[in-house]
């Protein structure tokens, strides 16, 4: 599937046409149509990926995982850390650590569903 096709399918899933997607991304109405024959700029690609709540790698067909973003990976790495520190550098209780992990998982799930 091409970049254009993936973008079109994702837009359709959100109930948008490509013009709406482009406008929400801050692009000209027909910008995405140009992707049939031209490669988009990195800025345009990132803007559309953000609006569609997917990674640029997904749009480009480099991965089949829609929501693999670096911020989600960082949060997931933090979840697996043995020690979570409070903002003042003091270690916190284990039950509070688990609450933080649960909240971080919730945030990741919301991002993956497109609810920022």
pTM of the model: 0.59
How high is the mean pLDDT of the chain?
80
Instruction: Choose the weakest-confidence range: 7-11, 23-27, 75-79.
Output: 75-79
Q: How far apart are CA 18 and CA 7, in angstroms?
A: 8
> What is each CA distance from 74 to 51, 70, 108, in whole angstroms?
21, 6, 11
Are 59 and 7 contacting, i.e. CB atoms less than 8 angstroms apart?
A: yes
Comparing 107 with 80, the larger pLDDT belongs to: 107
Q: How far apart are CA 7 and CA 33, in angstroms?
A: 10
Q: Does residue 77 register a pLDDT over 80?
A: no
Nearest to 72 by CA among 20, 114, 29: 114
């Amino acid at each position: 599937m091409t970049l254009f096709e993936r973008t079109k399918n994702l837009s359709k899933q959100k109930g948008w046409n490509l013009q709406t997607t482009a406008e929400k991304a801050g692009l000209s109405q027909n910008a995405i149509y140009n992707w049939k024959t031209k490669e988009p700029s990195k800025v345009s690609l990132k803007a559309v990926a953000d609006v569609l709540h997917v990674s640029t790698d997904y749009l480009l067909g480099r991965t089949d995982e829609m929501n693999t973003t670096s911020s989600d990976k960082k949060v997931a790495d933090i979840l697996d850390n043995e020690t979570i520190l409070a903002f003042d550098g003091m270690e916190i209780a284990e039950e509070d650590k688990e609450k933080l992990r649960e909240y971080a998982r919730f945030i990741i799930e919301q991002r993956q569903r497109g609810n920022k």
